[in-house]
């Protein structure tokens, strides 16, 4: 289901970290705000691997700043929101939550029944081939009867905690000195992931990282912040070795763009010259 | 001439020699650009130093359709000579870019030459803005 | 030949596997922050597909504006959305419920035995019934008097609780009834749910979401009954990889490096300047050549004269240990999967000691920080079999005399870095020069 375009995306602040648990919100961030975040959770379907991770996603503080100031998202104090929901859940909310759990259980029951029926029909057709149809059905139905009571763990608290409970006011949000480069890149359609593997702040993609390779390893600097030439050499050499450019950039204080919602950012792309 | 001025001139002359002797650059000259305290080197590399990825794709397409290789003449480059132990800022790099005359069709670029104490020099292309990397 | 400026990485032609090209290929594979979820999703319909067999899909350099590319992106997004849209379901036969009682053990009315490694006051979830093999390193049974509430039951630390909820093992509930009604004294864990206390009985409590588990158990540094997000992420990463992992016990205040009792003779000599005592070495002249002119028939005396700079010598008991400080202190003890003899109550010495550092608020450790971190770990020189074997030189250097792993967390991305106490001064290459057989020719 598409979210209506004006609906703001809820970002949970849990002890200073920014997380999104609702799959629809994660999808909206990716599709509407070119933000994929980092998937940091265990996928319950395959919990013994570290390649395909699941919800929640974690966002950087400067990404959150950019999303909030672009009017795409808002932040809630999720610890306080849960505390008040757990300690004083009203009868209506309680009913609504139980209703959502029940409907999920029913959906799951239906799926299990379908799977069982499918298995039964496969087993039955196999049995037919073996001309031995006497035994198969009984065991399948007895297994089915065990699936009467199910527990459900929703991923997000969307049916439990009111979405704007303990929303943090926009101005409360830290106006960081840095973050202009991130805001600039998000505003220009680039995607970002953590740059840890290449010793930079960001890996920057020309589109969704699901489809595209990164173009840049990027670091933000203050306009007058000292940049060791050795860091330019190291960053440029490493980026070139993996077919990327090393990008440095930051807010240019004197430059004003009266019309633009985006900060005036100046950046430089660096590649090894090959000589 | 104060010390920092002399330092800039010394680094530039070491890089100048390296370009001339090791890399066979031609028509090398040291320029003093208005508004810049550091000297800039200008010269012609023996072959084209940088080709934008889009121009590269165009060249390949040309080669495919005509069967002949696209010719790319070498272009003059601006070289900023620095010592590896220096620290620069976005603001000082921007000043260098701003002092350059308006460039060809692509973004302004310089060749950053970093000189080390053992007289090794390494060269990096620095371009204005977000320029996607070369791919071959 | 790792970084040779004469090799152009831009040069056409195939990349060499063992040089920079190989490194680049590895790095590129590592770039996969976003592997292909299409393949992942398709693996559920097949049987016996391991994560190793799921390879990354082909990606593009940039957008071509073609419908095919848009279609490929759209199907990748749908696959990811399908994977993320999954709801954790606990089937009756595998249902394991945990109850949140975060303040239970901080309440003085509740008493159980607390001991090193128990972390009783940090245990926030009590299991009603538990099944499966995950208890090998997770949870502790509170011990004490049988007439105490909560005793005899399995209790979870915050990181254990989130992890078990996240992997779909535990159904976490918030109680709306008192502890004794839910979990009466003396009743054993396991067995079927009691009537009135099943998964559909919402009067006694409510099931919690994964988000609720994070909001309850992720906190700031040193919050009781919580863990930090980077520490949880490291914990979960290692659990997913199959390791056994426990919180490291608090550092023991190390006995002051007790001076070995000195003889009077040693005491007298302690007044003599140490360089005079360096046997086999002549006193350096303040001028003149480093190597005294003369006839040398061996390398050793020459090198010994050249050894001017004091070298680090690792000691089993370091002389003055300073206390490691956050984030560079050992937080987890980790054991390789499948190693026999692991017991969470009496764990053997760990295979790895891990500190957790976050890129947001820490830099590369200083020499002092890494030194005190290393000195908080036991002396662990290379195995006996490697010693004295010139062929094992690099293995010995890499192994070091102490070692520790720093898990570096960058907004959810975890990388591990091993730091070893290196001692190049212990590997005197020149000693081998004199042992070479004559007749090798020059």
User: In terms of domains, do A100 and A67 share one?
Assistant: no
Whether the pLDDT of residue C170 is over 60: the answer is: yes
User: In terms of domains, do A223 and A256 share one?
Assistant: yes
Q: What is the model's pTM? A: 0.85
Phi, psi of C103 (to 5 degrees): -105, 10
Q: Is A253 a member of any domain?
A: yes
Q: Which range, A190-204, B86-100, C245-259, is most confident?
A: B86-100
Whether the pLDDT of residue A17 is over 90: the answer is: yes
Instruction: Please tell me the predicted confidence (pLDDT) of residue A241.
Output: 92
Report the CATH number that the domain containing residue A15 is assigned in CATH. 3.40.1170.20
Q: Is B87 a member of any domain?
A: yes
Nearest CA in chain A to C166: A42
User: In terms of domains, do A1 and A56 share one?
Assistant: yes
Per-residue confidence band for C439, with pLDDT thresholds at 50, 70 and 90: very low
**What does DSSP say about strands A17-20 and A54-59: parallel, antiparallel, or unpaired?**
antiparallel
In chain B, the number of structural domains is 1
Instruction: Please tell me the predicted confidence (pLDDT) of residue C25.
Output: 39
Per cent of chain B over pLDDT 70 is 99
Q: Does the beta carbon of A23 lie under 8 angstroms from any beta carbon of chain C?
A: yes
Nearest CA in chain C to B51: C10
Report the CATH number that the domain containing residue B54 is assigned in CATH. 3.40.1350.10
In chain A, the number of structural domains is 3
Q: Which range, A94-103, A116-125, C8-17, C374-383, is most confident?
A: C374-383
The total of other beta-carbon atoms located within 10 Å of residue C275's CB is: 10
User: In terms of domains, do A4 and A84 share one?
Assistant: yes
Q: Is B104 a member of any domain?
A: yes
Q: Is A46 a member of any domain?
A: yes
User: In terms of domains, do A125 and A61 share one?
Assistant: no
| Cα B72 from Cα C298, distance rounded (Å) | 61
Mean pLDDT value across chain B: 92
User: In terms of domains, do A170 and A34 share one?
Assistant: yes
Per-residue confidence band for C280, with pLDDT thresholds at 50, 70 and 90: very low
Burial of C134 per CB tally in 10 Å (0-12, 13-18, 19+):
middle
Q: Does the beta carbon of C85 lie under 8 angstroms from any beta carbon of chain A?
A: yes
State mean pLDDT over C282-310.
Answer: 83
Range of the domain at A113: 91-146
Report the gap between the CA of C59 and the closest CA in chain B (Å): 14
A141 is catalytic: no
Mean pLDDT value across chain C: 80
Q: Is A7 a member of any domain?
A: yes
Closest alpha carbon to C39 in C91, C83, C90, C104? C83
Residues 52-81 of C with CB under 8 A from B: 61-62
User: In terms of domains, do A57 and A99 share one?
Assistant: no
Q: How many helices (H) and strands (E) does chain B have?
A: 3, 6
Q: Is B119 a member of any domain?
A: yes
User: In terms of domains, do A103 and A80 share one?
Assistant: no
User: In terms of domains, do A51 and A134 share one?
Assistant: no
The two most distant CA atoms of chain A are separated, in Å, by 86
Q: Is A152 a member of any domain?
A: no
> To which H or E segment does residue C350 belong?
none
Whether the pLDDT of residue C294 is over 50: the answer is: yes
pLDDT tens digits, A25-69: 999 999 999 999 999 999 999 999 998 999 999 999 999 999 998
Cβ pair A52, C40 in contact under 8 A: yes
Q: Is A243 a member of any domain?
A: yes
Range of the domain at B94: 3-127
With beta carbons under 8 A apart, name residues in chain B contacting C61: 135
User: In terms of domains, do A207 and A266 share one?
Assistant: yes
- At C301 the three-state DSSP class reads helix
Per-residue confidence band for C5, with pLDDT thresholds at 50, 70 and 90: very low
User: In terms of domains, do A29 and A130 share one?
Assistant: no
DSSP C382: P
> Which of C3, C4, C5, C60 to mutate to test binding with chain B, by most B CBs within 10 Å of its CB?
C5
C5, C12, C61 member nearest B122 (Cβ):
C5
Query: What is the ipTM score, two decimals?
Result: 0.94
> Per the structure block, which two tokens stand in for B51?
């080709």
Q: Is B123–A240 a contact, with Cβ atoms under 8 angstroms apart?
A: no
Asked which of A69-78, C187-196, C319-328 is least confident by mean pLDDT, the reply is C187-196
Q: Is B88–A249 a contact, with Cβ atoms under 8 angstroms apart?
A: no
**What does DSSP say about strands C205-207 and C171-175: parallel, antiparallel, or unpaired?**
antiparallel
Instruction: Please tell me the predicted confidence (pLDDT) of residue C441.
Output: 44
User: In terms of domains, do A100 and A196 share one?
Assistant: no
Report the CATH number that the domain containing residue A264 is assigned in CATH. 3.40.1350.10
- Secondary structure string (H, E, C) spanning A21-34: CCHHHHHHHHHHCC
Instruction: Please tell me the predicted confidence (pLDDT) of residue C104.
Output: 94
């Amino acid at each position: 289901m598409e979210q209506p375009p004006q609906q703001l995306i809820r970002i949970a602040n849990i002890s200073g970290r920014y997380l999104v648990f609702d799959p629809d919100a994660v999808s909206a961030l990716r599709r509407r705000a070119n933000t994929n975040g980092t998937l940091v959770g265990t996928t319950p379907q395959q919990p013994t691997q570290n390649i395909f991770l699941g919800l929640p996603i974690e966002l950087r503080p400067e990404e959150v700043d950019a999303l909030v100031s672009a009017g795409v998202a808002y932040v809630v104090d999720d610890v306080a929101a849960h505390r008040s929901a757990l300690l004083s859940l009203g009868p209506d909310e309680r009913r609504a939550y139980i209703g959502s759990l029940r409907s999920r259980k029913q959906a799951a029951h239906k799926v299990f029944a379908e799977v069982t029926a499918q298995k039964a029909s496969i087993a039955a057709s196999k049995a037919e081939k073996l001309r031995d149809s006497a035994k198969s059905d009984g065991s399948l139905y007895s297994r089915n009867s065990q699936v009467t009571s199910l527990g459900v763990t929703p991923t997000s608290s969307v049916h439990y905690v009111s979405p704007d409970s303990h929303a943090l006011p926009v101005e409360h949000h830290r106006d960081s000195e840095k973050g202009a480069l991130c805001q600039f890149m998000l505003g220009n359609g680039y995607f970002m992931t953590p740059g840890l593997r290449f010793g930079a702040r960001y890996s920057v993609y020309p589109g969704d990282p699901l489809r595209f390779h990164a173009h840049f390893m990027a670091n933000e600097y203050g306009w007058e912040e000292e940049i060791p030439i050795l860091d330019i050499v190291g960053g440029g050499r490493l980026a070139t070795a993996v077919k990327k450019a090393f990008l440095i950039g930051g807010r240019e204080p004197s430059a004003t763009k009266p019309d633009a919602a985006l900060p005036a950012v100046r950046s430089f792309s660096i590649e090894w010259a090959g000589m | 001439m104060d010390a920092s001025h002399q330092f800039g001139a010394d680094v530039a002359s070491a890089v100048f020699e390296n370009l001339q002797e090791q890399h066979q650059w031609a028509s090398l000259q040291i320029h003093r650009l208005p508004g810049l305290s550091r000297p800039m080197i200008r010269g012609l590399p023996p072959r084209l130093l940088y080709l934008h990825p889009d121009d590269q794709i165009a060249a390949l397409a040309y080669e495919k359709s005509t069967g002949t290789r696209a010719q790319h003449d070498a272009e003059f480059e601006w070289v900023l000579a620095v010592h590896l132990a220096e620290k620069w800022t976005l603001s000082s790099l921007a000043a260098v870019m701003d002092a350059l005359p308006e460039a060809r069709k692509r973004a302004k670029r310089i060749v950053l030459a970093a000189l080390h104490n053992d007289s090794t020099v390494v060269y990096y292309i620095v371009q204005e803005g977000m320029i996607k990397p070369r791919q071959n | 030949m790792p970084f040779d400026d004469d090799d152009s990485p831009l040069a056409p032609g195939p990349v060499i596997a063992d040089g920079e090209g190989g490194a680049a290929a590895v790095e590129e594979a590592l770039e996969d922050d976003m592997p292909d979820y299409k393949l992942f999703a398709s693996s559920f319909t097949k049987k016996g597909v391991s994560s190793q067999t799921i390879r990354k899909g082909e990606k593009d350099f940039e957008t071509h504006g073609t419908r095919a590319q848009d279609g490929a992106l759209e199907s990748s997004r749908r696959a990811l959305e399908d994977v993320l849209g999954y709801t954790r379901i606990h089937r009756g036969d595998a249902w394991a419920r945990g109850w949140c009682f975060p303040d239970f053990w901080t309440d003085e009315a509740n008493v159980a035995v607390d001991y090193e490694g128990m972390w009783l006051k940090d245990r926030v979830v009590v299991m009603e019934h538990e099944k499966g093999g995950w208890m090998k390193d997770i949870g502790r049974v509170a011990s004490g008097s049988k007439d105490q509430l909560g005793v005899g039951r399995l209790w979870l630390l915050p990181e254990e609780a989130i992890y078990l909820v996240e992997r779909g093992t535990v159904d976490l509930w918030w109680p709306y009834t008192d502890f004794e009604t839910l979990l009466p004294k003396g009743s054993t864990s396991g067995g079927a749910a009691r009537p009135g206390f099943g998964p559909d009985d919402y009067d006694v409590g409510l099931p919690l979401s994964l988000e609720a588990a994070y909001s309850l158990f992720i906190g700031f540094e040193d919050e009781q009954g919580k863990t930090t997000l980077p520490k949880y992420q490291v914990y979960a990463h290692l659990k997913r990889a199959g390791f056994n992992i426990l919180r490291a016990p608090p550092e023991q205040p190390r006995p002051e490096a007790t001076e070995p009792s000195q003889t009077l003779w040693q005491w007298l000599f302690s007044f003599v300047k140490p360089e005079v005592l360096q046997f086999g070495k002549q006193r350096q002249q303040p001028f003149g050549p480093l190597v005294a002119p003369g006839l040398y028939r061996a390398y050793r005396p020459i090198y010994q004269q050249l050894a001017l700079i004091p070298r680090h010598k690792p000691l089993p008991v370091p002389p003055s240990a300073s206390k490691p400080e956050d984030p560079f202190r050992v937080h987890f003890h980790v054991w390789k999967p499948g190693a026999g003899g692991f017991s969470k109550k009496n764990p053997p010495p760990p295979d790895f000691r891990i500190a957790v550092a976050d890129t947001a608020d820490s830099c590369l450790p200083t020499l002092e920080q890494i030194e005190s971190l290393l000195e908080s770990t036991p002396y662990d020189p290379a195995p006996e079999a490697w010693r004295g074997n010139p062929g094992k030189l690099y293995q010995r250097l890499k192994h070091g005399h102490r070692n520790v792993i720093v898990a570096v967390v960058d907004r959810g991305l975890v990388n591990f870095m091993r730091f070893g106490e290196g001692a190049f001064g212990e590997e005197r290459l020149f000693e081998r020069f004199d042992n070479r057989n004559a007749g090798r020719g020059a």
